[in-house]
Chains A and B, each alone.
Chain A
């Protein structure tokens, strides 16, 4: 490696350290005793580089204390988060790829206009639609169920539809024609030919959606009212209200880290596809 490239690593390493510092801080505080954690919260100098006596039981203690019944609150929230996230990711990938296929491969009157309208929805902030959406879901009797969180995913997301559409438009026409002569209708071409080819876009859609839904706080807060239906993000907020004081901050950090683990793992596993997908979306677009 040339000397110039070493120098280029300096700002990158500094940036990485800056990004990793909060994570490291959370990890260290989550393993401290209550006194050490409280001190580290008010004074940066009191923070150890590595905990001298890591309190691993903090994690189990934190998870046990979520909700009004021991363990049940945490396990319910975990199950709800997994269910909502799984369904939303699945529905988003299916609906966005299907719409993307239609916009890229089926010629119909008004296709361009429809694509334009769909892109325009990206400029609409979600806060604008929040109240009308709530009224609609309330009139359907869906409040305090997971339906308002997962059903909208069946109607696609403009950004991901755009990515799928751009990617599918690059697939050679002859491949689609061959599939149609081989006996496939549009749905089969989409399912058997296009989806397997769209793996990078599927990966990026799945990862983005997972991270967004797993961390989503506002949606579950609005629609899920019962304690047993709360997701991890909502449960974590209730926990913060309960254990947000300086004397129990290690529990809050432990639970926050537990909540973050799936996102970190997913990113590490899908990192290659993620970067590839981003590149493809950018170049082929």
Chain B
């Protein structure tokens, strides 16, 4: 496992379209970080830059201690689960799982196997180890019975499991998930979400997960990275992001139903700053009062508040 460090990571496409702008993020070893945001916010592009599927226009990307900006994706020790599963349709589930392992074996091994008896024995041991890893991954994900089937004969949930299995067998430093559950129905999505959470707990692996589904993000992530317009809006624990949104976008994006914004005026109530909302006075929490640069009194504001935080008061 390894940490992932993004410093000022940017992506500008030919033609000048900026998809990602100056993303700074430290993913700790073994952490589950979820990139969340609306469509087109740059979360998938960020993930694809980490995977090596998109060139990095500016900034630094480190996996562990290694700077990997110029390292091809296959040499970054990352495994990715795609939204469309990306299973090889002509291969059985077993062959799909073994595919990344076989590709990583020394090239030309088959020729050498013919030439040397010692090598033949080593290659047989390697084959056995490979088969064991495939079997173990299949057991972990409960797909042992499907090993000889082709992807076309699997349901959506089963395909998703195979896709996760293909990442799992490689034992990569970092797992990358690009909206892996978005093609599943609601019930299966909840099941798979729980399974992914269990998998993360069991492996203790570093995982970077992209979704536009905030419920998924809130339940899965150790930390959330909320993005909009290619810029990180807030990075924090799900509780932090929910209770203390950094800005109005985050406040409006996170939570169902989303946060309310009421027109308000900043006033003084018994010597302490408060908000006047349609004639009702709302005392600001102490943390707001202690702000060194409190907004000027009398200025029109928007008072954010979640419906669940409201309490019925006594009339008058």
Contact = CB atoms under 8 A, between A and B. Distances in A.
Given A183-B104, A188-B103, A178 B73 contact: no
A182 B99 contact: yes
A184 interface: yes
Interface in A158-213: 172, 174-175, 177-184, 188, 193, 196-197
Contact of B88 (A175, A180, A183): A175
B19 to A, nearest CB: 16
B74 A183 contact: yes
Interface in B38-95: 51-53, 72-74, 78-80, 82-84, 86, 88-90
Interface residues of B, number: 22
Nearest to A183: B103
Contacts of B89: 197
Contacts of B156: none
A180 B80 contact: no
A197 B90 contact: yes
B90 A177 contact: no
A182 B53 CA distance: 12
B100 interface: yes
Contacts of B82: 174, 177-178
B86 A183 contact: no
Given A181-B52, A181-B74, A196-B90, A172 B80 contact: no
Task: Report the interface size class on chain A.
Answer: 10 to 19
A197 B53 CA distance: 22
Contacts of B72: 180
A105 to B, nearest CB: 13
Contacts of B86: 172, 174-175, 177-178
A174 B73 contact: no
Nearest to A171: B89
Nearest to B90: A196
Contacts of B52: 181
Given A183-B104, A193-B88, A196-B90, A178 B80 contact: yes
A178 B96 CA distance: 11
A181 B79 contact: yes
Contacts of B103: 182-184, 188
B178 to A, nearest CB: 9
Contacts of A172: 84, 86
Contacts of B51: 177, 181
Contacts of B80: 177-178, 181
A184 B88 contact: no
A279 to B, nearest CB: 18
B73 A181 contact: yes
A153 B52 CA distance: 36
Contacts of A175: 86, 88
B83 A174 contact: yes
A128 B124 CA distance: 57
Contact of B100 (A177, A182, A196, A197): A182
A168 to B, nearest CB: 14
Contacts of A193: 88
A175 to B, nearest CB: 5
A250 to B, nearest CB: 49
Nearest to A176: B86
A178 B99 CA distance: 10
A126 to B, nearest CB: 36
A183 B80 CA distance: 12
Nearest to A172: B84
18 contacts: A172-B86, A174-B83, A174-B84, A175-B86, A178-B82, A178-B88, A179-B88, A180-B72, A181-B74, A181-B79, A181-B80, A182-B74, A182-B99, A182-B166, A183-B100, A183-B104, A196-B90, A197-B90
Given A172-B84, A177-B53, 14 more contacts: A172-B86, A174-B82, A174-B86, A175-B86, A177-B82, A178-B80, A179-B88, A180-B53, A180-B72, A180-B73, A182-B103, A182-B166, A188-B103, A196-B90
Interface of B: 51-53, 72-74, 78-80, 82-84, 86, 88-90, 99-100, 103-104, 166, 170
Q: Ordered nearest first, which 4 A-B pairs have the shortest CB separation?
A: A183-B103, A178-B86, A182-B100, A196-B90
